[in-house]
């Protein structure tokens, strides 16, 4: 009588065949069920244990895979592929030394086993034995020259060893063997980036994505590259595509936060960072990134709190100490900032950014000698362009101009499009009177060297060509003083036969209306009439090819409107004693304000001069000055009546002399042709040139310079002596 189906012995060979078919087709659930059935019937079935282990590895369950492969090898330890596959699983578990042992056993059983040599190379790279890994890949390629995976992996090893050109050749060889090898295209793109061939790198990432549109590494690398190019919207799209594929990728949430910060979407950046931290609570870099957003928002106390939270998580985090130093410096806690940078450098002596930031802080504290030491250390660690630029700035402050220019040139050689290098070189050239190179370099202000942004006009910029019969927009671009200084060029443009549309801040309009040749005067932000060309005011010297010898220095080129003149003749009638106008501070937001501004208390000896009347030409007062103004009854306040610069001009016109720090009042007085004494810090603006007591821009100016950084006492003493002489001359004349 035939056996029933329930008691009939299983045909394991047939089952194994069917399991293999399902496995090959990617029908993994069916394959797994059959492998389990076979093993239940025969626990020592080597092939089922082996292939089931491979399947578990493919399904991302390496621990289960390791158990199955170990069982298979316990049944039969003479199959090279089983040892090699066991090595793959052990490597996936991070057990690299055990993986290496497995690969060695596979190779011992099969000396021409190219795949095992390749896998062995991967494990050696994982334990930082890169030179040995390279030898292993070479062995795989000796056995199988057209092995694309080994060629790709060899490229990775060469890349880690800094042999970039050789790595690129290896990736190209891999792609010759397999043109649709997306991973090799991504690695090739990374290599091209290191070779500074960014356009080709982007093409390589795009080629990978054309083959595999959801290739996560390609999307990530493309996003990083686009962000580095400030193509933030495109970078954001890459990261968001990654998250549509891998929603729980903490790193990509963090990178998305970086781009959102770049876009100024700070609240969205915080959301992205918080998502990254929810997925990875110990993600200390993201805590610092949160701090960076607060820092960029100007919330320095909140930034400091985040940096300190990061350091509590990782006390040896040099990057955290560096950024903590930045926040402390911004809060005016300079000694603590320097200590924080020092901790960063103790942890990482070659930390270029920390050396650079510490030097920046020292430079702001007027300690350029110490700053230069740190810049030199940064450059010694690695001659990167931004450190060379800052080193040049320190050398410039120290008066070592040739060395400074050389440092800027080194930076430009490393990064030809680094706007900051061109900009700083331009400022130094202008200070040295090399106007030909200076004006040309000054145009880099529109290319990222400053906060200025091009206006985006469709009309071309004027560079001095024939303009007769055309309408040109001349527009103010920077501070009030800059506008007043370069307004002198407006009549010269009109003399070329052009119609002039002049755009400027509202506070300057009544005064600028006195300029000859202006057809239309427009407030900044108001609708503009039609025009053919445009030129920023501070590009006019370039358009005219201005040199030291050809500076248009005829003054006055501005005049006080009659109604204002009459108002201030009544308000400040001339007396028997000379009247001196005084301006001792500019805008507190000016980047050099801490160097150029004095407190009114420093003028005590000046204001005590009994033969002179003083009037304050300040429109704004700082709290510290207001607290002591009562101590100086000789100084008259008129700020309630100073509504715009025409008022200030009319008040200055009533004065016999104006004394000012380097602020708009100095340019105002100079443009009116008034005697103007300008007090200059040692760290001064380019327009005053070097070591001169006169100014080719303002024939009526006299310059009082600090002999060294911070030495206002010498300036005040010299000013007091000059003022005593001035009063004596006026007294004798009367």
Segment 235-274, tens digit of pLDDT: 999 999 999 999 999 999 999 999 999 999 999 999 999 9
* Residues 114, 120, 126, 129, CA torsion sign: negative
pLDDT, tens only, 451-469: 788 888 999 999 999 999 9
693 has pLDDT over 90: yes
**Second-level CATH architecture of 12-246:** Alpha Horseshoe (1.25)
Domain covering 285-446 in this structure, CATH number: 1.25.40.10
Q: Which pLDDT does position 8 carry in this prediction?
A: 47
Q: Which pLDDT does position 6 carry in this prediction?
A: 45
**Residue 592 pLDDT level (bands cut at 50, 70, 90):** low
Q: Sort strands 533-536 and 471-475 into parallel, antiparallel or unpaired.
A: parallel
What is the token pair recorded at 376? 């030199």
**Residue 2 pLDDT level (bands cut at 50, 70, 90):** very low
Burial 9-23 (b: 16+ CB within 10 A, else e): eeebeebbeebbebb
**Averaged pLDDT for residues 372-379:** 90
194 has pLDDT over 80: yes
**Residue 286 pLDDT level (bands cut at 50, 70, 90):** very high
DSSP state of 517: T
pLDDT, tens only, 408-422: 999 999 989 899 999
Q: Which pLDDT does position 3 carry in this prediction?
A: 43
Q: Which pLDDT does position 732 carry in this prediction?
A: 57
CATH 3.40.50.2000 range(s) for the chain read 562-733
pLDDT, tens only, 134-187: 999 999 999 999 999 999 999 999 999 999 999 999 999 999 999 999 999 999
Q: What is the per-residue DSSP string for 404-473?
A: HHHHHHHHHHH-TT-HHHHHHHHHHHHHTT-HHHHHHHHGGGGTTTSS------SSPBP-S---TT-EEE
Fold exhibited by the domain 562-733: Rossmann fold (3.40.50)
588 has pLDDT over 90: no
Q: What is the mean pLDDT of the chain?
A: 92
Among 427, 350, 415, smallest CA distance to 388 is for: 415
**Residue 84 pLDDT level (bands cut at 50, 70, 90):** very high
The 8 Å CB, 24+ separation contacts for 38-41 are 38/10, 38/12, 41/10, 41/12
CATH 1.25.40.10 range(s) for the chain read 12-246, 285-446
SS3 599: coil
363 has pLDDT over 90: no
**Residue 728 pLDDT level (bands cut at 50, 70, 90):** confident
Q: Which pLDDT does position 7 carry in this prediction?
A: 45
What is the token pair recorded at 206? 């795009």
5 has pLDDT over 60: no
Pick the CATH number of 471-550 from 2.60.40, 3.30.499, 3.30.1460, 3.40.50: 3.40.50
> Which residues are registered as beta bridge partners of 614?
580, 635
| Percent of the chain residues past pLDDT 70, beyond the cut | 97
* Residues 700, 706, 711, 714, CA torsion sign: negative
| Percent of the chain residues past pLDDT 90, beyond the cut | 80
DSSP state of 667: H
């Amino acid at each position: 009588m035939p056996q029933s189906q329930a008691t009939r012995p299983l045909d394991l060979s047939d089952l194994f065949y069917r399991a293999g078919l399902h496995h090959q087709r990617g029908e993994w659930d069916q394959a797994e069920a059959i492998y389990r059935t076979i093993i239940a019937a025969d626990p020592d079935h080597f092939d089922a244990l082996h292939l089931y282990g491979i399947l578990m590895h493919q399904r991302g369950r390496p621990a289960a895979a390791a158990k199955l492969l170990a069982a298979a090898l316990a049944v039969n330890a003479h199959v090279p592929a089983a040892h090699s596959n066991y090595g793959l699983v052990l490597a996936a578990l991070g057990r690299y030394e055990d993986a290496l042992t497995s690969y060695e056993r596979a190779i011992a059983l099969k000396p021409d086993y190219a795949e095992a040599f390749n896998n062995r190379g991967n494990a050696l790279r994982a334990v930082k034995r890169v030179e040995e890994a390279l030898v292993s890949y070479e062995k795989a390629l000796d056995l199988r020259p057209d092995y694309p995976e080994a060629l790709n992996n060899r490229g990775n090893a060469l890349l880690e060893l800094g042999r970039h050109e050789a790595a690129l050749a290896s990736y190209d060889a891999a792609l010759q063997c397999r043109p649709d090898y997306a991973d090799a295209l991504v690695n090739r793109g990374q290599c091209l980036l290191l070779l500074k061939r960014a356009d080709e790198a982007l093409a390589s990432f795009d080629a990978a994505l054309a083959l595999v549109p959801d290739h996560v590494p390609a999307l990530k690398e493309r996003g990083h590259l686009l962000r580095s190019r400030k193509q933030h919207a495109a970078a954001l799209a890459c990261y968001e595509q990654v998250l549509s594929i891998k929603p729980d990728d903490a790193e990509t949430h963090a990178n998305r936060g970086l781009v959102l910060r770049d876009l100024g979407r700070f609240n969205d950046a915080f959301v992205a960072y918080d998502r990254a931290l929810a997925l990875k609570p110990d993600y200390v870099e993201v805590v610092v990134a949160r701090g960076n957003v607060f820092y960029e928002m100007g919330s320095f106390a909140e930034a400091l709190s985040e940096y300190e939270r990061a350091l509590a998580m990782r006390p040896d985090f040099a990057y955290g100490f560096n950024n903590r130093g930045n926040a402390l410096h911004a809060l005016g806690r300079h000694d603590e900032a320097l200590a924080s940078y020092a901790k960063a450098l103790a942890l990482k002596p070659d930390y270029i950014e920390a050396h650079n930031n510490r030097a920046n802080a020292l430079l702001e504290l007027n300690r350029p000698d110490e700053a230069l030491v740190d810049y030199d250390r940064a450059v010694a660690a690695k001659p990167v362009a931004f450190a060379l630029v800052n080193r040049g700035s320190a050398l410039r402050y120290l008066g070592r101009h040739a060395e400074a220019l050389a440092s800027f040139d080194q930076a430009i050689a490393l990064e030809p499009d680094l706007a900051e290098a061109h900009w700083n070189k331009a400022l130094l050239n202008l200070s040295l009177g090399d106007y030909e190179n200076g004006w040309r370099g000054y145009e880099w202000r529109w290319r990222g060297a400053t906060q200025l942004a091009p206006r985006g006009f469709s009309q071309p910029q004027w560079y001095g060509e024939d303009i007769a019969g055309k309408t040109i927009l001349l527009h103010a671009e920077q501070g009030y003083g800059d506008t007043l200084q370069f307004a002198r060029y407006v009549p010269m443009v009109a003399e070329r036969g052009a119609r002039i549309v002049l755009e400027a801040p509202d506070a300057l309009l009544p005064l600028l209306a006195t300029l000859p040749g202006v057809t239309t005067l427009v407030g900044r932000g108001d609708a503009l009439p039609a025009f053919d060309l445009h030129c920023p005011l501070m590009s006019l010297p370039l358009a005219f090819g201005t040199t030291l010898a050809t500076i248009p220095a005829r003054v006055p080129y501005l005049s006080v409107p009659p109604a204002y003149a009459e108002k201030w003749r009544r308000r400040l009638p001339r007396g028997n004693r000379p009247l001196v106008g005084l301006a001792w501070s500019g805008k507190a937001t000016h980047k050099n304000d801490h160097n150029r501004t004095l407190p009114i208390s420093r003028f005590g000896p000046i204001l005590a001069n009994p033969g002179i009347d003083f009037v304050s030409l300040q429109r704004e007062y700082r709290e510290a000055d207001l607290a002591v103004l009562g101590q100086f009854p000789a100084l008259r306040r008129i700020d309630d009546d100073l509504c715009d610069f025409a008022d200030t001009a009319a008040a200055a016109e009533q004065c016999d002399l104006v004394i000012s720090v380097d602020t708009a009042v100095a340019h105002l007085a100079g443009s009116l042709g008034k005697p103007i004494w300008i007090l200059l810090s040692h760290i001064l603006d380019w327009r005053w040139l070097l070591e001169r007591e006169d100014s080719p821009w303002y024939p009526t100016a006299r310059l009082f310079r600090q002999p060294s950084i911070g030495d206002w006492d010498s300036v005040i003493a010299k000013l007091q002596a000059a003022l005593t002489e001035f009063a004596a001359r006026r007294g004798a004349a009367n």
